[in-house]
Amino acid sequence: MFWFNPFFHLIKNEIKAIQEFLADKHATEEKDTSEYAELLLMQAIGTYKYKLVNPFFIIN
């Protein structure tokens, strides 16, 4: 219905950005902000401190 309105796409992008800021604010309210920043940085780089795999089960 709104595919012809170019402002709809701009508003949609702004709503996504606001939701991200609200999620970050909620995540850092009662926790250590440096730990959360490290988590975001590791996710952006692609390295993780904790992996969800078992190193003892290796298929050759």
Quick check: is 26 in a domain? yes
Q: pLDDT-based confidence at 56, cuts 50/70/90?
A: low
Name the token pair of 34.
Answer: 């440096």
Name the token pair of 58.
Answer: 């290796």
Quick check: is 28 in a domain? yes
Quick check: is 55 in a domain? no
Q: What is the residue range of 32's domain?
A: 6-45
Quick check: is 22 in a domain? yes
Quick check: is 56 in a domain? no
Assess contact for 10 and 17: CB atoms under 8 A: no
Q: pLDDT-based confidence at 3, cuts 50/70/90?
A: low
**Which pLDDT value is given to residue 17?**
93
Q: What is the pTM of this model?
A: 0.53
**Which pLDDT value is given to residue 30?**
80
**Separation between Cα atoms, residue 43 and residue 15, nearest integer Å:** 22
- pLDDT one-digit tens code per residue, 7-53: 888 888 999 999 989 988 888 888 788 888 888 888 888 776 665 55
